[in-house]
Structure 1
């Protein structure tokens, strides 16, 4: 696996615009769920532009319904929830939704799950949040037990948080002509990364996951978890969202740079992510952002993200250089690269898609 990834980097350095790369790299686009009447057209444009897949990150609208509409509008796309909130839904409900989407996509659906944070889970969803890491581990195993039950008619999961042992034919989705959906989890800290390697099929890296963090934490911790369950680390997908700033002039890039700066300050305000900034050489970034946040100073929050932060955490490039920059930066670690803001500007979907196509075909 390492040899293949190193080959990607070497070919990226030798690559000429318009020339195909070697081993396939999957490039997806990320979006928040849209009104159902509009998501079909977005999915069709995403597929036609050249992306490998479409990833729905759950916010005020549900990722599952958007994925269902997209599956009918753009059957060639890989689809995934990236991520859907786990705890407010029972493992059985989540498993049933994923099962139907796997059937609808002919096996091209990935179930991405995350814990969210306590305030959202308890005060917005009215669900339990105690010990979220171990709870999510049990949740993943329970979901996979439900997948097995849909095929065999026997449900038998007894974990620390979930006990599931009853299913009848009328309450089972039944077998499908596709493998079980892959189950991925969002993880940041070392314990969660090891857990992903142990029980999940992939890990969603945080949008602040710059290459140094991925090399120091994600790759080795996922490998440790995989070894614990006697699996190869190469069996665990590493799914990396990438913020980009693209344009052929400084003026083109300036607007995107400010949007990215605001996004980074939002993510960087979470105390649990402070160590990512610190290890990258930007000690105290979270504390400075939170000071501005508490004062309601959103412009001040964004101002804490310097151009040096952006150079480390964001891929900035001309259009002709973007494909090479992405492969050189993430080709040694990522299984799938997810372009975080490729769909934000409808006029540029095709340009981003051309970059995705140039990387993924070969």
Structure 2
């Protein structure tokens, strides 16, 4: 069994506020961001992660970088196609300098509807465009570090202007790790070919990992020109949900909540492949139909316990580390958290993280 790097998702300082517990939407507490980093380090985490949902994760990373720490700072994920690759390259360069080389750039495409209708940006050939996007960023970083010419040509981006006035100075840690979110085969191959890692979605099964994710990542990696023995340095994050609780009674409640999560993502056609592998294509089609009709409360009934155990690692705190090591074999980064209501909970979490660090 392999050891894991363990990640904590930054909660904008509001996870345990009265408003959040009551199901509200409180304002972010930016002033608590550094305290979260300190707590994560004390608990034994390896990285903190900021996701782009209601807030910009780069702002959280900038604040987190102000706290002296050993933790990696990861965008997991930031949206790529809503901004120019050069704009993202500037942000990543500064965060790498601010953090002393601890920044990891995680990017994702989002789906067409959000890119075009929420952000008003164009959509085209997502896998090829992401490959070009990563290449364009790396061209920026090479020019800034070496002072060499800036000339990047691809299907989606043709870039040739980078005067000294707009070139930031070199940094001490010029290699910025790039991970991309991937679900479909072509994007998995792009991740393996041009990235340092991949961030897999939660709505995948063990069978998906073995039959789709790992083979296509390795297929892309073989095209990268890197030595085969470097495959061990390629980072694979995620690849399923985690359903855990202190005891069996509370675990039953957690399973019901996980059914709702699976139902929500199962209604999205982009994630259909895992359902088809498990023979649940009819459930996925019905979930999509109900989502179009806004019948969200009816959707969880379509998810049975077999599906929960396929899409999630399920177990009480006492056994969850061993369950995770089996369910996520071949993955080397996972996100793991439990509610921290008292010092006892913190002690339990520390023990689980320590166990996940042991091979």
247-256 vs 82-91, which moves further: 247-256
Residue in 2 aligned with 1:309? 307
Q: Does the 8 A contact of 1:241 with 1:338 survive in 2?
A: no
Structure 1 residue 256 corresponds to structure 2 residue 254: yes
What's the counterpart of residue 202 of structure 1? 197
Instruction: Specify the SS of the correspondent of 1:316.
Output: strand
Q: CA 1:346–1:271 in 2, change beyond 3 Å: closer, same or farther?
A: farther
Counterpart secondary structure, 1:180: coil
2:6 maps to 27
Contact 2:205 2:239 survives alignment (8 Å):
no
* Residues 1:336 and 2:333 aligned together: yes
Q: Which residue of 1 aligns with 2:45?
A: 51
Identify the match of residue 229 of structure 1 among 196, 221, 224: 224
1:72 aligns with 2:66: yes
The structure 1 segments of at least 4 consecutive aligned residues displaced by more than 4 Å after TM superposition are 31-34, 343-350
1:108 aligned residue (102, 105, 126): 102
After TM superposition, the structure 1 stretch with the greater mean CA deviation from structure 2, 186-195 or 41-50, is: 41-50
Q: Output the CA distance in 2 between the equivalents of 1:90 and 1:329.
A: 37
**For residue 352 of structure 2, what is the aligned residue in structure 1?**
355
CA contact (8 A) 2:248 2:316 kept: no
The aligned residue for residue 23 of structure 2 is none
The aligned counterpart of 1:239 is 237
C-alpha separation in 2, matches of 1:108 and 1:346: 29
Query: Secondary structure of the residue that 1:197 maps to in structure 2?
Result: helix
2:39 match: secondary structure: helix
Alignment deviations for residues 30-88 of structure 1 (CA, whole Å, 9 cap, x no partner) = 34656222322222222211111112221120011111112223622111111110011
Range with bigger deviation, 135-144 or 43-52: 43-52
Shift in Å, 1:319: 1.2
Tell me the alpha carbon deviations over residues 177-224 of structure 1, each in whole angstroms, 9 at most, x when there is no partner. Answer: 114111111111111111111111111111112221111111111111
**Displacement after TM superposition at 1:169 (Å):** 2.7
Q: TM-score, normalising length from structure 1?
A: 0.87
Q: 1:328 to 1:197 in 2, by over 3 A?
A: same
- The TM-score, its normalising length taken from structure 2, stands at 0.88
Residues 1:277 and 1:180: Cα distance change in structure 2 (over 3 Å) = same
The answer on 1:127 being equivalent to 2:124 is no
Gaps of 5+ in 1: 1-7, 10-23
Cα distance in structure 2, aligned partners of 1:345 and 1:261: 23
RMSD of the alignment, in Å? 2.0
Say whether the 8 Å CA contact 1:40–1:74 is kept in structure 2: no
Query: Are residue 139 (structure 1) and residue 118 (structure 2) matched?
Result: no
